[in-house]
């Protein structure tokens, strides 16, 4: 079997999903925001995102991206796998389909096709266009405003930060996102209520930037996007 590890971002105690039990050796639970929370690891083999090189203390603002940053900076700690993925404690991609189709050029994602454009969805659901301008100014400086405008007008979005990709693609993703992780930090309102929706605004932008990265690289022929089913347990919802 191909060498695959999927970290599972968790931030609160939750029952141990069958999908992890049924695929031993693939999933690695990680406690997000361990530096800020009073939560201790609660699943077998769970690690913390505040060991070694980390930005765990920014989890109230960056959500699961503190886990992705930890995995990127400490990749040897998860065994230096050829393929890497991310799941959430109550949302997973169809691992059985993915295992049959691992390829260095393929990225497995969950894809939304929406009536609204990505920009309309963004402006309606998030609404803070001042912070959007911060993101767009970085995009413009990187020379990607034309491709990002195409993304904003599209109705096709790899979403939920759920993916499986070759490690080279993951590293390129994190190199791209790290520009924003570093620069967003200057604009964080550290006085806002921790873990509120307003507090996590930059994490929503990072999610859209992740979707943009995958879609842009697909459009230029650098990767192939493979849509996978979203497996969500019956007790969870998008407010947990």
174-199 confidence digits (pLDDT tens): 999 999 999 999 999 888 777 777 78
pLDDT at 129 over 80: no
Q: In this predicted structure, what is the pLDDT of residue 238?
A: 35
Give the class (CATH, top level) of 4-232: alpha beta
Q: In this predicted structure, what is the pLDDT of residue 233?
A: 62
Find the mean pLDDT for residues 18-25. 92
pLDDT at 82 over 70: yes
In whole angstroms, what is the distance from residue 95 CA to residue 230 CA?
Answer: 10
The pairing of strands 47-48 and 91-93 is unpaired
Find the mean pLDDT for residues 135-159. 90
pLDDT at 111 over 90: no
Q: In this predicted structure, what is the pLDDT of residue 1?
A: 42
Q: Report in angstroms the alpha-carbon separations of 194 from 55, 57, 144, 173.
A: 16, 11, 32, 27
Q: In this predicted structure, what is the pLDDT of residue 124?
A: 65
Q: What is the pLDDT of residues 209-230, one digit of tens each?
A: 999 999 999 999 999 999 998 8
Find the mean pLDDT for residues 138-156. 93
Q: Report in angstroms the alpha-carbon separations of 200 from 35, 50, 72, 116, 196.
A: 16, 19, 21, 22, 6
Quick one: CA torsion of 196, 198, 200, 202, rounded to 10 degrees?
A: 180
Through-space distance between the first and last CA atoms of the chain, rounded to whole angstroms: 34
Q: In this predicted structure, what is the pLDDT of residue 125?
A: 62
pLDDT at 10 over 80: yes
The answer to whether 200 and 65 have CB atoms below 8 angstroms apart is no
Domain boundaries, the chain: 4-232
- For the chain, give the mean pLDDT: 90
Say whether pTM exceeds 0.85.
Answer: yes
């Amino acid at each position: 079997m191909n060498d695959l590890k999927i970290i599972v971002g968790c931030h609160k105690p939750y029952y141990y999903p069958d999908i992890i039990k049924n695929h031993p050796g693939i999933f690695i639970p990680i406690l997000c925001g361990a530096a800020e929370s009073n939560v201790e690891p609660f699943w077998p083999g769970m690690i913390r995102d505040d060991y070694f090189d980390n930005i765990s203390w920014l989890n109230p603002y960056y959500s699961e991206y503190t886990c992705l940053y930890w995995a990127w900076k400490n990749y040897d700690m998860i065994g230096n796998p050829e393929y890497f993925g991310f799941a959430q404690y109550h949302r997973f991609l169809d691992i059985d389909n993915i295992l049959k189709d691992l390829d260095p050029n393929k990225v497995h994602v969950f894809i939304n096709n929406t009536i609204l454009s990505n920009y309309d969805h963004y402006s309606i659901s998030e609404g803070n266009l001042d912070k959007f301008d911060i993101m767009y100014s970085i995009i413009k400086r990187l020379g990607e405003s034309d491709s990002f405008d195409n993304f904003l007008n599209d109705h096709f979005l790899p979403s939920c930060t759920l993916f499986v990709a070759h490690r080279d693609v993951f590293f390129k993703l994190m190199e791209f996102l790290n520009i924003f992780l570093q620069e967003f930090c200057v604009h964080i309102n550290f006085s806002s209520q921790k873990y509120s929706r307003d507090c996590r605004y930059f994490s929503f932008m990072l999610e859209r930037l992740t979707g943009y990265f995958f879609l842009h690289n697909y459009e230029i022929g650098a990767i192939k996007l493979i849509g996978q089913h979203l497996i969500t347990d019956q007790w969870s919802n998008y407010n947990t």
